[in-house]
Chains A and B, each alone.
Chain A
Amino acid sequence: MKIVVCAKFVPDATADRRFRPEDNTVDRAGVDGLLSELDEYAVETALTVKEAGDAEVTVLTVGPEQAADAVKKGLQMGADAGVHVLDDAIHGSDAVATSLILSKALAKLEADLVVFGMGSTDGGMGVVPAMVSERLGLPAVTLGSEVTVDGQTVRIRRDGDTASETIEGTLPLVLSVSDQANEPRYPSFKGIMAAKKKPVETWSLADLELTPEQVGGSSAWTEVVEVTARPPRTAGTIVTDEDGSGAAGLVEFLSTNKFL
């Protein structure tokens, strides 16, 4: 079985994240980045499936030069191969364009099982898996909190708003997993050394028979017209409960602000 994990390189959430003033796109080049934490759960799922049977795991990323780090991390965790779609024309792509690039690459890789994270930690739309499923005409089982792969059948448990559901589909299929699905492994020293010898291919848009006009900022179907940093919150009142007056103070605050 051929498993492909779609993994995104994102700006580090604990560092300074910002927008590029010239075009209001997320600054991906000038900041520290890493493999989106939520995609580690996808890598872990793929590795678990591989270990239970016979499969080859490829990590696929679309992104700038530095995004190679996302592929590398996946390989260090235990994936077998990497593909990095890199092309200057990709800058500024929105979810619709990203899903187009990913689906072309996935078709070329002939994936049986495509694993996604639940959402990228930067854009965070959580829509790319459904878009890829739509483009490839493959079934999708999304937001799995528990995943079992049994022969050709993929079964997930999904904790929805009103119910806990069991959902089933047959390979080839698109799967996305939540951060409840597993505990992603840390790369071992051996894994880090082994990753250096694993094959990584870099593909351009031309390799996917796509033209620059089909992707990137010029073709993006949404436009950010304005970005405003949230004003810092004004410092609040802080009281201590040492003398047991904390609750009274709290209730007084709620009352003054008409919450009672």
Chain B
Amino acid sequence: MSNVLVLVDHTAGAVRKTTAELLTIARRLGEPVAVFVGEGVTDVQAALPALGQYGATKVIALSNPELTQFLVAPKAEALAQVAAKIEPSAILISSNAEGKEIAARLAVKLDSGLITDAVDVVAADGGAVTTQSVFAGNFTVRAKVTHGTPIITVKPNAATPEAAETSPEVEEFDVTISDAAKTARIVESKPREATGRPELTEAAIIVSGGRGTGGDFGPIEAFADSLGAAVGASRAAVDSGWYPHAYQVGQTGKTVSPQLYVAAGISGAIQHRAGMQTSKTIVAVNKDPEAPIFELVDFGVVGDLHKVLPTATEEVTKRKS
């Protein structure tokens, strides 16, 4: 069976859920081979159980320090070298900013077609056929790569991780990084404080606040916490400095597709919809009955979020305890 490369998304060996999703998808297409870029052997060992749980048949470890010191160009170079040796039938990468940039460079290096932001990937027509959501979620497109090694970036939640226990061997792989790839570097990095809430793009439930919060995200966060949800924000709230940009939902923020999306004090502008329209269930709280967000909802409350959310939070907490 053919090999399918999966670039592992992790922090210091802690494998992210998206990688389990990629491995699950890779098994539909062939034998998953995980490519792990890290600081050293300890990280790979830490990641190994998770990679084995979801069916990685082999783990290729790349631990050249230059891979993490510089921006993405060296990682793309390394992956190209791995691909040249393994000759995979497809390469799967997480659809985040870094993943997309690696994929873009890889497409040029390997003379291959690239599909980004797949929300599903299946084996059909003798290859991978992807599903993407385009034009603010108004269209669904199925596509395939017709030239070279299909390179596909896959969005979080594109598959439900299915375990398939293996005990993968680790293969150290030596890469050579060109000087050209080392030209842009990270000079400072301030880690964001952990909120303890689920990752926005991976969350099953998201509660988002907009301009209607008037700057107080307290009721949004409290309601989110009662539901075990992630917190999101509209651009108006982000631009006002009320919530960090990393939590912005929409065209220029994150595209999310949770089971439940709650929009509070958000009007529902097209650019916001672009990021949340494909959510399974949509709920809105807005004091304006004419707000366009109500066109999308499964359930809507016309009212003041400062009254509705705290009462709802209390009720949810009561029912859950």
Contact = CB atoms under 8 A, between A and B. Distances in A.
B142 A224 contact: yes
Given A13-B136, A161-B246, A99 B108 contact: yes
A260 B228 CA distance: 9
A143 interface: yes
A153 to B, nearest CB: 10
Given A230-B137, A240-B301, A255 B319 contact: yes
Nearest to B314: A247
Interface in B262-288: 270-271, 277, 281-283, 285
Contacts of A186: none
A187 B206 CA distance: 39
A33 to B, nearest CB: 14
Contacts of B146: 220-223
A19 B134 CA distance: 11
Interface string B227-266: 1000000000000000011100001100000011000000
Contacts of A125: 100, 104, 114, 116-117
Given A127-B104, A221-B147, A259-B227, A167 B186 contact: yes
A87 interface: no
Contact of B144 (A118, A225, A239): A225
Interface string B93-120: 0001110110111011100111111000
A117 B26 CA distance: 32
A126 B100 contact: yes
A250 B301 contact: yes
Main SS at interface, chain B:
mixed
A105 B271 CA distance: 31
Contact of A259 (B136, B260, B282, B285): B260
Interface stretch (A70-78, A132-140, A199-207): A132-140
Contacts of B215: none
A257 B302 CA distance: 20
A196 B72 CA distance: 41
Interface in A216-247: 220-230, 233, 236-242, 244, 246-247
The size bracket of the interface on A is 35 or more
Interface stretch (A42-50, A51-59, A172-180): A172-180
A81 interface: no
B113 A96 contact: yes
Given A129-B104, A155-B187, 20 more contacts: A125-B104, A125-B117, A130-B101, A133-B105, A162-B11, A163-B190, A165-B189, A169-B184, A222-B115, A223-B146, A227-B140, A227-B141, A233-B282, A233-B295, A236-B294, A236-B299, A236-B300, A237-B298, A250-B301, A251-B319
Interface of B: 11, 71-73, 76, 96-98, 100-101, 103-105, 107-109, 112-117, 129, 133-148, 180, 183-192, 205, 227, 244-246, 251-252, 259-260, 270-271, 277, 281-283, 285, 289, 294-304, 307-309, 311-312, 315-316, 319-320
